[in-house]
């Protein structure tokens, strides 16, 4: 039974028939003879892919593509131009308008099938990434319901980590993963008894031993996965309490044996925890928190990352001010 839906747009019935013959056994097909009909169908049916002629009466294929990309509900639909225009300038204009590919007439069946399959695979990969990201974000929020720390702590820690990572020179893909993995750093607290997690006073040695288990529990919750995002989230959950000098937990890792992202989150997490009020403590001043981080350079924290933290401190303080507790509850974060 046909799976993905493809919208075919061409003012010539013979051209639509050619594409129909090539694709009808594998896909659900929609047909439009002009740009206006194509726009209406795209909005109503949300096809997975559009094959679009350029030279049509009324609005051209180029104009149709531009209008598709200008609407939030259709901007995500990939467009492949199918046209007799074969000059390099024509192709360049098509890509500038947001098309993902360009096929020239007369089309060859094997090429059409291959290009369609490739771009639908990219759509599925993007959907999988978005689903995985949504799961990560929801798990991060689940930990908030167990913990006495606010959701803004998770947001601030993520933003501080992003800012430090950018100061370090990480690429945009790496930064995007870091922003979305950092909220998972304390996911293991889901597995810590409330009597320990929510205790207002200092933990006794037995309770502290239980609390330390949250790092290993977090790694077990996230599990082993092939995606860079979930692998990073696992490393952060497991290792963000390791210390540069090897005195941390749960594995006693030292130096660069600690994953870079966990070393970044460690600084961000401690800075925000120190400068935030909790049931068991008052908030530290910015100066006092910065003094401790400087003193712990080479002990608790990676000394190079400490320098990046201080170089980025004005931007970190700006993000902190924006996301203070009791504000911005319903906003989304991005970079």
pLDDT in tens, 261-287: 999 999 999 999 999 877 667 889 999
Per-residue pLDDT band for 126 (boundaries 50, 70, 90) equals confident
Whether pLDDT at 327 is above 70:
no
Averaged pLDDT for residues 122-140: 73
Query: Quick one: the chain helix, strand, coil %, rounded to 5?
Result: 60, 10, 35
User: Pseudo-torsion of CA 240, 185, 163, 159, nearest 10°?
Assistant: -150
Whether pLDDT at 150 is above 70:
no
Please give the Cα distance from 49 to 79 (Å, whole number). 6
Distances (CA, A) of 331 to 16, 237, 334: 45, 24, 10
Q: What is the pLDDT of residue 178?
A: 94
Dump pLDDT digits (tens) for 283-292: 899 999 999 9
Please give the Cα distance from 65 to 102 (Å, whole number). 13
Q: Whose structure tokens read 């933290």?
A: 309
Dump pLDDT digits (tens) for 38-91: 999 999 999 999 999 988 988 999 999 999 999 999 998 999 999 887 655 666
**Prediction pTM value:** 0.64
Q: What are phi and psi of 129, to 5 degrees?
A: -60, -45
DSSP class of residue 51 equals E
Q: What is the pLDDT of residue 326?
A: 45
Dump pLDDT digits (tens) for 154-187: 889 999 999 999 999 999 989 989 998 998 898 8
Reduced to 3 states (helix: H, G, I; strand: E, B; else coil), residue 289 is helix
Dump pLDDT digits (tens) for 181-236: 998 898 898 889 988 888 888 899 999 999 999 999 999 988 887 778 889 999 99
Q: What is the pLDDT of residue 98?
A: 85
| 52 and 41 Cβ atoms separated by less than 8 Å | no
């Amino acid at each position: 039974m046909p799976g993905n839906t493809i919208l075919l747009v061409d003012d010539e019935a013979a051209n639509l028939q050619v594409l129909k013959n090539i694709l009808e056994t594998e896909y659900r097909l929609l047909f439009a003879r002009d740009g206006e009909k194509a726009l209406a169908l795209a909005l109503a049916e949300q096809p997975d892919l559009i094959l679009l002629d350029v030279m049509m009466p009324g609005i051209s294929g180029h104009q149709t593509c531009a209008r598709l990309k200008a609407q939030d509900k259709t901007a995500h639909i990939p467009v492949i131009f199918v046209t007799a225009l074969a000059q390099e300038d024509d192709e360049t204009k098509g890509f500038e308008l947001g098309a993902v590919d360009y096929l020239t007439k007369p089309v060859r069946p094997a090429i059409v099938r291959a290009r369609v399959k490739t771009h639908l695979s990219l759509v599925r990969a993007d959907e999988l990434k978005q689903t995985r990201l949504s799961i990560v974000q929801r798990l991060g929020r689940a930990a908030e319901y167990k913990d006495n720390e606010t959701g803004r702590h998770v947001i601030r820690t993520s933003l501080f980590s992003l800012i430090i990572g950018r100061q370090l020179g990480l690429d945009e893909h790496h930064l995007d993963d870091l922003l979305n993995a950092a909220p998972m750093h304390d996911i293991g607290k889901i597995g810590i008894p409330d009597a320990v997690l929510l205790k207002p006073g200092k933990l006794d040695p037995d309770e502290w031993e239980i609390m330390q288990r949250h790092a290993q529990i977090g790694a077990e919750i996230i599990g082993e996965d092939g995606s860079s995002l979930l692998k990073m989230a696992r490393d952060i959950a497991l290792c963000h309490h390791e210390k540069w000098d090897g005195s941390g937990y749960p594995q006693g890792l030292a130096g660069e044996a600690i994953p870079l992202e966990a070393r970044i989150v460690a600084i961000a997490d401690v800075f925000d925890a120190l400068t935030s009020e909790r049931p068991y403590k008052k908030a530290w001043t910015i100066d006092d928190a910065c003094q401790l981080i400087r003193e712990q350079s080479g002990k608790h924290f990676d000394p190079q990352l400490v320098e990046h933290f201080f170089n980025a401190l004005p931007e970190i303080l700006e993000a902190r001010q924006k996301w203070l507790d009791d504000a911005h509850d319903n906003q989304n974060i991005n970079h």
